[in-house]
Amino acid sequence: MNTSQPLISIVVPVYNEDEVLLEFHETVIKVMSELPVYLEIVYINDGSVDNTLKLINDLRNKDKRITLVDLSRNFGKEIALSAGLHKAAGDAVVVIDADLQDPPELIPRLIKEWENGYDVVYAKRTRRGGESFLKKTTAHFFYRLIQRIGKISIPEDTGDFRILSRRAVSALNTFKEQHRFMKGLFAWIGFKQKAVHYQRDARRAGESKWNYWHLWNFALDGITSFTIAPLKISTYIGLITALGAFGYGIYMLIDTLLHGNDVAGYPSLIVIILMLGGTQLVAIGILGEYLGRIFNETKQRPLYFINEYLPSELAAEKQLDNSKQ
């Protein structure tokens, strides 16, 4: 191995992608063959139930630059990605989706910026093709919200598609949390970051594994793992409601003393009860969201299990070198 050339790992979480995987692989190989770098492609099979695993194995038999990490079941993209980052051997690591929504053609530009000394170079989309109006607006709203209430700024219109320097990867590998909102963690580690702009296409084939329920949970993870603002907000809502109720109570008392009370007061009573009940339920719900996550984290379970791990040739060489030291 010529040490003047860097080793680039391309980390790809895959879940039921047999329709696009070959096209994706060919595109990546084609793009990368024009660059003066060593290549490793890390495919993390995230418990696919279609032909994906077989396809990866076939590819690997022909090309020893491929690393296969076969997880023991479906763990979700964020965990699959983490598994890939743990195993990637490269001097820099590119994170990319298998569905060709992240154009591999952009990788040379990411690598160039990394060579210019940036630790995290993320791809920022200028347009979202093939996505519904609702998904676009909810995504937009979510980024604005997390920017506003979180203490870190997560770049908007950015997916996971990016290049990470070795020290950025090492930083990410120290995170032990179960609920990992990768986009947030990428921003959280800091270092020198830069955006590269591109236009995003619709998925080439297969279908998105995200539905609104997933997106909602994703958003909850994003918010609860980066800010405790909702807890504070619920405190203030509670405070305001209590003050309001106190003021109203005094008013009622004076009013009754001055004018007496003719009606039974049912409307005001029911309004107050409902209002207080509702506020309390919301506050308890917010507490529950955090409590549930604390519960999950305190179990300190391993993030994932690996069914089979077949390192690429260069990754195996590096591990050998490391174990000799």
Please report, as residue ranges, which positions from 38 to 67 form the binding site for ligand UDP (by CB under 6 A): 46
Q: Shortest Cβ distance from residue 14 to ligand UDP (Å)? A: 5
60 binds, among Mg ion, ligand UDP, none (CB under 5 to 8 A by kind): none
Total residues interacting with ligand UDP, rule: CB under 6 A: 16
Choose which of 25, 65, 77, 162 interacts with ligand UDP (CB under 6 A).
Answer: 77
Q: Shortest Cβ distance from residue 97 to Mg ion (Å)? A: 5
**Cα Rg of the chain (Å, integer):** 25
Per CB under 5 A, which region of 9-17, 97-105, 126-134, 226-234 contacts Mg ion?
Answer: 97-105
Helix (H, G, I), strand (E, B) or coil at 124: strand
Give the Å distances, CA to CA, from 69 to 74, 81, 115: 12, 11, 28
Per CB under 6 A, which region of 74-82, 264-272, 275-283, 317-325 contacts ligand UDP?
Answer: 74-82
x/- contact string, 99-118, with ligand UDP (CB under 6 A)?
A: x-x-----------------
Tracing tokens 């995987």 back to the chain, one arrives at: 21
- Asked if 160 is part of the footprint of Mg ion (rule: CB under 5 A), the reply reads no
CB of 73 closer than 8 Å to CB of 302: no
Per CB under 6 A, which region of 11-19, 216-224, 264-272, 275-283 contacts ligand UDP?
Answer: 11-19
Helix (H, G, I), strand (E, B) or coil at 46: coil
- Asked if 80 is part of the footprint of ligand UDP (rule: CB under 6 A), the reply reads yes
* Alpha-carbon span 138 to 140, nearest angstrom: 5
Per CB under 5 A, which region of 50-58, 74-82, 91-99, 250-258 contacts Mg ion?
Answer: 91-99
Q: Shortest Cβ distance from residue 118 to ligand UDP (Å)? A: 24
Q: What per-residue string of b and e applies to 13-28 under the rule 16 or more CB within 10 Å gives b?
A: bbbbbbbbbeebbebb
Non-local CB neighbours of 162 within 8 Å, separated by 6+ positions: 94, 95, 110, 120, 121, 122, 123, 186
DSSP state of 325: -
- Asked if 16 is part of the footprint of Mg ion (rule: CB under 5 A), the reply reads no
Q: What per-residue string of b and e applies to 160-198 under the rule 16 or more CB within 10 Å gives b?
A: bbbbbbbebbebbeeeeebebbbbbbbbbbeeebbbbeb
Q: Shortest Cβ distance from residue 206 to Mg ion (Å)? A: 9
* Alpha-carbon span 162 to 9, nearest angstrom: 12
Task: Return left, alpha or beta for 132; rule: phi > 0 is left, psi -120 to 50 is alpha, else beta.
Answer: beta
- Asked if 208 is part of the footprint of ligand UDP (rule: CB under 6 A), the reply reads yes
Choose which of 41, 42, 76, 169 interacts with ligand UDP (CB under 6 A).
Answer: 76
Q: Shortest Cβ distance from residue 77 to ligand UDP (Å)? A: 4
**Where along the sequence are the contacts to Mg ion (CB under 5 A)?**
99, 101
Q: Which residues bind ligand UDP (CB under 6 A)?
A: 13-15, 17, 46, 74, 76-77, 80, 97-99, 101, 208-210
